Amino acid sequence: MRQDPAESPDFPARRAPGAHTVAVLDERVTHCRACPRLVAWREQVAREGRRAYAGWDYWARPVPGFGPDDAALLVVGLAPAAHGGNRTGRMFTGDRSGDVLYAALHRAGLASQAEASARDDGLTLYGVRVTAPVHCAPPANRPTPGERDTCRPWLARELALLRPTVRAVVALGAFGWQALLPAVAAAGWAVPRPRPVFGHGARVTLAATDGGPPLELFGCYHVSQRNTFTGLLTPAMLTEVLTTAARTAGLPVRDDTGSGPHRR
């Protein structure tokens, strides 16, 4: 029996570079089945569901990035959550991590609302796009290095397509940081050797290899429940990194008094 081309390990490497718009890239990634373990998991989770989400028709496919295709700021997480993005089909949507992230973006004036519950909930991001280096939900939220590398062409292409406008990236957690560096290099920015080390509050300027605008890379603890419940990452810490990165990217940010950009 002939193998489905989407199941080939080189499907991302073959299909991502030819995507000439972010919309096309977002559509293409949803067909990917290159990682057998993750395909099996995302579909098993959808079949078994969870009592709290009874009646949901799970997305159960790769979750594309979310936000405008001319974003100045990119936020890079780890991978969709099994009952979050894998259920709703949108990054950081329908789980506690997303609640924390979008509330912070809303406080900063970068999102139209704090709540993120479904693809049609009306949430709009202003100048910010949210994505992940691994587009399918992994068991125990732990992709393997091989799965991370297989998925990289999608992120590298996303960065390349955003290159005319993107000026800053926030990596949420060490996994996102480490996965991001080779993708950033593939998209045209120089990554120093030795590679910069992740830390909350870390900040590195990456020069463009063609003389274009540099990219400012920020580290932030991941918005996982483990980090937010224990207080390792507080809402104030998250807002601080996001607003600093957004200002660096040239985005209008709501100030501490709650005034700032007013958008509809």
Binding site for ligand SF4 (CB under 6 A): 12, 29, 32-35, 38-39, 62, 134-136, 147, 150-151
Strands 73-76, 168-172: pairing is parallel
Instruction: Supply the minimum distance, in Å, between the C-beta of residue 1 and ligand SF4.
Output: 20
- The smaller minimum CB distance to ligand SF4, of residues 31 and 195, is found at 31
- The smaller minimum CB distance to ligand SF4, of residues 61 and 106, is found at 61
- The smaller minimum CB distance to ligand SF4, of residues 113 and 178, is found at 178
Residue type at position 219: G
Strands 128-131, 73-76: pairing is parallel
Give 62's DSSP letter. Answer: P
Instruction: Supply the minimum distance, in Å, between the C-beta of residue 202 and ligand SF4.
Output: 26
Instruction: Supply the minimum distance, in Å, between the C-beta of residue 42 and ligand SF4.
Output: 8
**Buried/exposed 118-154: b ≥16 CB within 10 Å, e otherwise:** eeeeebebbbbbbbbbbbbbbeebebeeebbbbbbbb
Instruction: Supply the minimum distance, in Å, between the C-beta of residue 148 and ligand SF4.
Output: 8
Instruction: Supply the minimum distance, in Å, between the C-beta of residue 35 and ligand SF4.
Output: 3
The HSE-up count of residue 133 (CA atoms within 13 Å, CB side) is 30
- The smaller minimum CB distance to ligand SF4, of residues 40 and 190, is found at 40
249 with 73: CB under 8 angstroms? yes
- CB within 8 A of 24, min separation 6: which ones? none
- The smaller minimum CB distance to ligand SF4, of residues 37 and 163, is found at 37
E strands within the chain? 73-76, 128-131, 168-172, 203-206, 215-220
Name the strands in the sheet holding 168-172, side by side, starting at the edge strand that comes first in the sequence.
128-131, 73-76, 168-172, 215-220, 203-206
From 245, 55, 38, select the one nearest 141 (Cα to Cα): 38
- The smaller minimum CB distance to ligand SF4, of residues 29 and 103, is found at 29
Instruction: Supply the minimum distance, in Å, between the C-beta of residue 181 and ligand SF4.
Output: 18
